[in-house]
Amino acid sequence: MEDDLLLEFERESAPAESAVTLQELDKEIAKLVSLREAYEHAKKKASELNSECEHQENILVGLLEKAGRTSYEAEGIAKIIKCTQTAYKTPKTNDDKLSLFNYIKGKYGSDALISMTSINHQTLNGWAKRELEDPDVVKIPGLELPTITEYLQVRKK
């Protein structure tokens, strides 16, 4: 009985006979290598173009600032809008986390603290922005100063 099971297992796990030739494998491997090379080339080109776009965006942000504007519409081409994004990092050290949690608990109570103990990046950013709208709040304990990024939004016509 054991011999029958062993024989059946060997038959099931044995590779099926196939009509694949070594030439087919060579051809498909060469195709994969060629595709990967093309992909790497395109990725490098995309990175270079992205750098050029960022440089051009910086030029346009500077020109908008010199013109005292936050947006401009080039008739028939596109409208550009200077945007600002503010982002707070989630506290990393235990001391910073404790400071933030004590602040939340002291101002809003234990229920608010419990709802925010597993706070994610987006929730933290939204909460911190709302919190700092209060003129009495200058800094939130446990949070570093935010990173402020300017970027252009381009709307083609």
Please write the tens of the pLDDT for every residue from 64-97.
999 999 999 999 999 999 998 888 888 888 898 8
Inside any domain, residue 75: no
- Return the structure tokens found at 67: 């013109």
Distance of CA 113 to the CA centre of its chain: 27
Measured CA to CA, the distance from residue 60 to residue 69 in angstroms comes to 11
Residue 111 CB coordination number (10 Å): 9
Q: Are residues 114 and 143 in the same domain?
A: yes
Residue 127 CB coordination number (10 Å): 16
Inside any domain, residue 27: yes
Inside any domain, residue 16: no
Q: Are residues 86 and 146 in the same domain?
A: yes
Inside any domain, residue 41: yes
User: Number of structural domains, the chain?
Assistant: 2
Query: What pTM does this model have?
Result: 0.54
Q: Does the pLDDT of residue 37 top 70, yes or no?
A: yes
Inside any domain, residue 12: no
Helices within 68-93 (DSSP H only): none
Measured CA to CA, the distance from residue 105 to residue 109 in angstroms comes to 4
Q: Are residues 136 and 85 in the same domain?
A: yes
Measured CA to CA, the distance from residue 18 to residue 105 in angstroms comes to 68
Radius of gyration of the chain (CA): 29
Inside any domain, residue 89: yes
Reduced to 3 states, what is the DSSP secondary structure of residue 150?
A: strand
Q: Give pLDDT, residue 58.
A: 92
Please check whether residue 82 is in contact with residue 152, taking contact to mean a CB–CB distance below 8 angstroms. Answer: yes
Predicted confidence (pLDDT) per residue in 98-143, tens digit: 888 898 889 888 888 888 777 788 888 888 989 888 888 888 888 8
Q: Does the pLDDT of residue 28 top 90, yes or no?
A: yes
Q: Does the pLDDT of residue 14 top 60, yes or no?
A: no
The pairing of strands 78-87 and 71-74 is antiparallel
Domain that holds residue 147: 81-156
Helices within the chain (DSSP H only): 2-13, 22-67, 94-108, 110-116, 121-131
